[in-house]
Amino acid sequence: MNDPTRVAHVKAQAKKLAEENQYSIMATPWLLFPFERSFAMQGMDKILLNLAMVPDFAEALLKKIAEQCKILMGHFLNELGDNVDIIKIGDDLGTQESLMISPKMYRQILKPIHADFISFIKERTKAKVFFHTDGDVFPLIPDFIEMGVDILNPIQTSTGKLADLPELKKQFGRKIIFCGAIDTHHYLPNGTPEDVRQEVKRVIEILGPGGGYMLSSVHTIMNDVPAENILAMVNAVEEFGKY
C-alpha cells in the first residue's frame, strides 16, 4: 500500500481527462474497503461471527485495514491533485432484505472507521464522496449523511425499503444525492424496451424533482441485458432527463 509507484500513472491520466473537459471525473484506487477486505481475508461467516463473539479482534482488524486504505488513498489523492470531481469508496452492507449487521453494531464498530476514512479524504480534496453499498441500507442513510457522504449508490430498487422511492426522496432527497435506481434484476434483463422506458420515466419523476439524482443502472450491465434495452434506457434519459 505504501508504494507511490502503484498510482504514479494517475496524475497524467487525470490531467488528460481534465483538459478534455468532457465528463466529470470519478476516481478510486483499486482496493477493497475495510468490511469487504475483512471478508476476503477471513470469509464472511468468520468475520460476522467475530463481530458478535470477539468484537475487539474484529474492530482491530477493520481499523488495521482502514489504515492501509488511507495510506494508498493518500498517495492516490496526491497524484490526482485538483483533477477529480468525485472520489468513490464503499463497503457492501446490505442484502436483498436487510442489513448484514445490525444498525447498532454498525454504529458501534464500523461507522467510526468509515467516518474517519471520509474525513481523511475530505481533508485532502474538494471532490465529492461517492459511497457504494449494495442491498437494503435504508436504516443507515442518516448515518451516511452524518458522516459526510455526498452521493449514495446504487439505490438497489429490488431490495426492501429502498424500493420505496417516494419515501426515500421525501426523507433524504435534500440531504444526499442518489445514484442508480434503474433495476438490473428485472427490468433491464427481462423487460421490453418499453418496460425500460417506462421505468426510467418513473424513477426520474420520483427522484429527479429539485435535483439530486444521478441516473444509472443499479449494477454492472451484464451479458443477459439485450442491447435494445440499453438503448431504451439511454433514449429515455434523453427524453425524460431534463427537469
160-186 pLDDT per residue, tens:
999 999 999 999 999 999 999 999 999
For residue 89, with 0-12 CB atoms within 10 Å meaning exposed, 13-18 middle and 19 or more buried, which class applies? buried
Give the residues across from 152 on adjacent strands: 131, 178
Domain boundaries, the chain: 26-131, 154-243
DSSP state of 15: H
pLDDT at 31: 72
Residue type, 140: L
Assign 121 a pLDDT band (cuts: 50, 70, 90). very high
Report the candidate in 75, 178, 62 with the shortest Cα–Cα distance to residue 125. 75
List, in order, residues 6 or more apart from 132 with CB less than 8 Å away: 88, 89, 90, 92, 153, 154
Report the candidate in 143, 189, 135 with the shortest Cα–Cα distance to residue 163. 135
Task: Report whether 116 contacts 142 (CB < 8 A).
Answer: no
138-162 pLDDT per residue, tens:
999 999 999 999 999 999 999 999 9
pLDDT at 15: 97
Q: Using CA atoms, how far apart are residues 218 and 163, in angstroms rounded to an integer?
A: 12
What percent of the chain shows pLDDT beyond 70? 99
Residue type, 198: Q
Report the candidate in 96, 46, 36 with the shortest Cα–Cα distance to residue 219. 96
For residue 48, with 0-12 CB atoms within 10 Å meaning exposed, 13-18 middle and 19 or more buried, which class applies? middle
pLDDT at 242: 82
Percent helix, strand and coil across the chain, each rounded to 5? 55, 10, 35
- Residue 56 CB neighbours (<10 A): 9
